[in-house]
Structure 1
């Protein structure tokens, strides 16, 4: 009996010790923590460091483009950086600039003043009309700046080109001192532009176009964007010279134009009054950029649009009547500058 109790006691002791050891192990054995990997913040370590913002007399500038120029993105600032100054807070440029940005200045619009030099200055600086620049006709080397390029000038008015409206918001305007044409004579006799003026306009336009990456399709006449009410800069302005000698603006390829002209001559007169043919011409004008609504009729709006087109691309004849040559030029331009 005593032996039996001894064996039972010994078994209980062994079991108790084993249990305590297990408890000990379970109590002190550290569990391997499951660590979720932290998201790695994106850094710019692989990118070239951003150029510093320059500071001149407390005014900040950033004149380097670090964005993707192929997407028409551009971070360069052609003027001081304008920043908010919220009361009680500090605006910092730790992450300036973001690469996803471009210029608001998308168009260059050319005008004539229809006034002499002194009156042009007065009207454009003291009345409810303005332009960013004024090219005088005094034979000197000066070009007058009247409005900051970062601000809207009141030069385009009610206007449109392709899908864009109110081009004051997105354009730079150049006014050129020129008499235009005299009113009340019954016929329009436009005044020529001096060689000095043309050289000034070319140099100024080239600078603006280059800085803001303005495409050829967006270098336009006031008449192009408002054909129902404007004629400037008129048929005497040398668009072809600017294209040939300075690579400014649009012009058609002669070979393409000739091909369309040869085709148009075959039955142009026969189809001239056909509403579907008229509708097709109006659609082609609209496709190129003009704000004309296709109606299938030779209405006044269409005539003025054709006139504006001829001022720009066929200045030898600007009667507002569509003929085979004007039609051929329009088609050649649509081929060369197709909307993408």
Structure 2
């Protein structure tokens, strides 16, 4: 079966590796990172689109060209005159800890749901649609409702909907707003891929099991609660099971670990793996990612790891 995968959100300019020679520029963002792994780990015949809104500046054109080189389209995503991509820089302190500085308040991606017709066209015919709490956070209230409605309509047309709540406090005006929007994400999704630390911070859960039970009550039939390098709690078919990583890995850089887990898990499920097998596969891929610097492993090195 041929699949069409759509991921919705914001792909930003990333500045990293500051040295005397300057910065290294790349492109990254949570839903883009996940799509990168979905693209790399899916069959070549799979169609992939990154649905967002783009500016008309040189950096936006570079973004679109970068996506195209890696066989990722942009569907009917609008090009917004006078807008630019969001930007963030990664810096290290004396102890080697990373910190992030963002410039994204006027980014084109905040307008990704401003044209409901184009958005509907972008989602039409998708087998799998992926979005996150960050996707919801960057939108104004009305645009967020438009997006969730379009995703719900796509689910009614038999698309699978995957959602990572991915709570980032600085993107929300207050926790109550985040809780409301993320619960709407649960209701819209058929697959939910939360991280326990995020859920604990926002909802006060004491254990991954408590996170699982709370989200089950919201309706999704498939849930994977990630806990960093610990076992993931996988719920499918009315049963929950712990799936531990196959080996302990000393990380070099944890950037993109959760995003790569999500991409590998969804690629495994699309390939026909059981939820438990897909979670084990996702652990293996994430373990390789955290042994390298940066969020994105090269496509060629990932192709040989396809399920």
Above 0.5 in TM-score?
A: no
Q: Which has the higher strand share?
A: 2
**TM-score normalised to structure 2 length:** 0.31
**TM-score normalised to structure 1 length:** 0.29
Question: Which structure has the bigger radius of gyration?
Answer: 1
